[in-house]
Amino acid sequence: MSKLDHWIDNKIVQNLFVWFFLFLILLTSIQSENRALSALFAIALLAPPVYLNNLFILPLFRKKLLIFIFLFLLNTIIFTVVAVFFIKMGIEGDFKLEMFLNFFGIMILALVCAIAMKLARDSFTRRQEEKEAELKLLKAQLNPHFLFNTLNNLYGLSVIKSDKLPSLMLKLSDLLRYSLYETKEALVPLTKEIEYLENYISLEKIRLENTTQISLTKKGNLDDVSIAPMLLIVFVENAFKHLHVSNKEKGSVIISIKEEHNRITFSCVNTSETSILNEEHLEKGKSGIGLENAKKRLALIYPEKHEVTIQKSEKLFSIVLTLHL
């Protein structure tokens, strides 16, 4: 990123530019003996309600609309009264209701323009973050480490001329085709995502052989549900990466997907050692996007419509993801 881009993206610079542009407009439109001083005075009166509104009141717009409207009007009236009071101190004559109404209209106009600019900037920032999330998704679609291990295992099966080889080669082909070509849409059928997980698990079983109990259960009406692509694989990859298998007992990866009342509940539980159950280690998944980035992607795609619960015990690590569709 160039220095110019850094300057353009800097919020302080953006705010200074807007206020400077407003200053130039006021400088040419105000009828006063000292236009520059009057323009600065007007900006000083407008700035506090604008920032109070954008920083503390506007976040309530989507959550509590009535409270937002009440606080918006209260903020406008209070600072209009303050502005009229200061203006009245500098001029002679009696108070006129027309003066209050004029400045009230100016205040409303200023706040609405500030809200529009704030929403536009937030929308632009959100789109940029979504692009970054999609870039990380693309990096996750072809995992070189997973491919390397899988091809080695398939080569081993080809040497012994195993009957499993053709079906596993087909699963690898389906897995690659889906990750490369079928994940370009914003939403994909959940059944496709589950099929992708099943293919991935089948290939992991080659590596783990008889050392691990692996299961994937499905429940509910999954045929009519669509979700963001490559959303669940991160948690499954994480389970296999941090899977613990000992000589005394088998490891396990237990996955379940349930649809109920227009809600999807995904659960993934795996055996894991206490020594590796630390946040920093777990956040770095095989795919390169990790749990932390998966959470960010969920926040972008399903804002306030998802919950991620992570539980760690002495021998188990579990993740439960709930999506409200």
Supply the pLDDT for residue 79. 93
CATH of the domain at 205: 3.30.565.10
Instruction: Give one word for 288, left, alpha or beta, with left for phi > 0 and alpha for psi -120 to 50.
Output: left
In the chain, how many domains are there? 2
Q: Indicate if 126 and 155 belong to the same structural domain.
A: no
Q: Which range of residues forms the domain containing residue 229? A: 142-324
Q: What is the DSSP letter of 60?
A: G
Stretch (H or E) spanning 2: none
Stretch (H or E) spanning 114: helix 97-141
Count of C-beta atoms within a 10 Å radius of residue 19: 15
Q: Indicate if 23 and 46 belong to the same structural domain.
A: yes
Supply the pLDDT for residue 72. 93
Q: How far apart are CA 320 and CA 268, in angstroms?
A: 7
Helix (H, G, I), strand (E, B) or coil at 200: helix
Q: Indicate if 76 and 189 belong to the same structural domain.
A: no
Q: Of 77, 105, 134, which marks where a domain is finished?
A: 134
Supply the pLDDT for residue 71. 94
CA atoms within 13 A on the CB side of 282: 22
Q: Of 72, 102, 134, which marks where a domain is finished?
A: 134
Supply the pLDDT for residue 221. 92
Q: Indicate if 301 and 174 belong to the same structural domain.
A: yes
Query: Is this model's pTM higher than 0.75 or not?
Result: no
Q: Return averaged pLDDT per consecutive 10 residues of the chain, 325 residues in all.
A: 68 87 84 83 92 92 89 94 83 70 89 91 82 61 60 79 82 82 83 92 82 92 90 87 80 94 94 60 47 80 90 90 93
Residues in the chain: 325
Supply the pLDDT for residue 136. 63
CA dihedral sign of residues 293, 296, 297, 298: positive
Q: How far apart are CA 48 and CA 111, in angstroms?
A: 11
